[in-house]
Amino acid sequence: MYVGGTEHAVLHLLYARFWHKVLYDLGYVSTPEPFFKLVNQGLILGEDGQKMSKARGNVVNPDDMVNEYGADSLRLYEMFLGPLQDTKPWNTKGVEGVYRFLGRVWRLFVDEKSETEFEQNATAEPQQGAALLEKIRLSPSITDIAPTPAQLRTLHACIKKVTEDLDCLHFNTAISAMMVFVNEAMTWEAKPCTVSRDFLILLHPFAPHLAEELWGKLHSAFHIPPAPLSYAPWPKFDPALLVEDTLEIPVQVNGKLRDVIQVPAAASQADLETAAKSAEKVKPFVDGKAIKKIIVVPRKLVNIVVG
């Protein structure tokens, strides 16, 4: 796969194909073409919506971003901007938002009071930062317990989304899936070690420095010999764990939402109709009235039409 900007791709591909074909003719490589797929990444524009250039004075120095927010934040933000092929305008406030997300990841694994240390490490000198990190321990809420079905469902939904999006180079939506996971995991009183471990593997391609640091703390806390996160096997999702036991179904009366009911995922159409008609907030709108029709959209909606 060749990934590059449109302005450079022509000459890059010309040179690469020339040398590859020379090597192919000499018998050193086994394929006549060097690439099977071409992906043109979009330009990142300045905050003024114009192409970045020194002449326009709208260039953003990546070193400044790294010094203020860290390399992971810059890396993550560029992937979160939008689809890889699209042209996207730069927005420094967006880097701040991604930085806050990484702060939430940090607090998910260590004590929530350590937010100050996280911010200090972003700007500390290397030796000072290392000393601060050494003092910080894994959160006691991460324990060696079996995950609940709900926790497994949340994790495996994230694994499925991130895995599929990475294969399609949809980095921005993969990051969104991890944000959903973190928001949900922050509500857990006890966080299983195995779930936390798999999440760090998913995070690693996007924020490798933070993921490696937390990976080391996770292994130290549970006395597991640390191994490079880069070599950890990628987790696989179990489709059976993604099947929902219950569904939330909106109930409308004459097209207006009146209630939301919870029903078993395997509920039949007759069961949905019965549950919808007996819902507490629906009764005042159907009692004493003739029900002309009940429209059921499986797993999505029930609409009761009354006269």
Structure confidence by residue, pLDDT tens digits, 112-146: 655 545 554 545 555 555 555 666 778 888 999 99
100-240 and 244-306: same fold? no
Residue ranges of domains in the chain:
1-41, 100-240, 244-306
pLDDT tens track for 198-238:
999 999 999 999 999 999 989 888 877 777 898 999 999 99
Q: DSSP E strands: which ranges in the chain?
A: 2-5, 38-41, 44-45, 88-89, 142-143, 191-192, 246-253, 256-264, 291-297, 301-306
Under 8 Å CB-to-CB from 164, ≥6 apart: which residues? none
* CA-wise closest residue to 234 among 201, 205, 267, 261: 201
Q: Mean pLDDT of all residues in the chain? A: 87
Q: Burial code of 31-40, b = ≥16 C-beta within 10 A, e = fewer?
A: eeebeeeeee
> What pairing do the DSSP bridges indicate for beta strands 44-45 and 88-89?
parallel
What is 100-240's CATH topology?
Isoleucyl-tRNA Synthetase; Domain 1 (1.10.730)
The 10s digit of each residue's pLDDT in 10-29 is 888 899 999 999 999 999 99
* pTM for this prediction: 0.74
C-alpha R_g of the chain: 26
**CATH of span 244-306:** 3.10.20.590
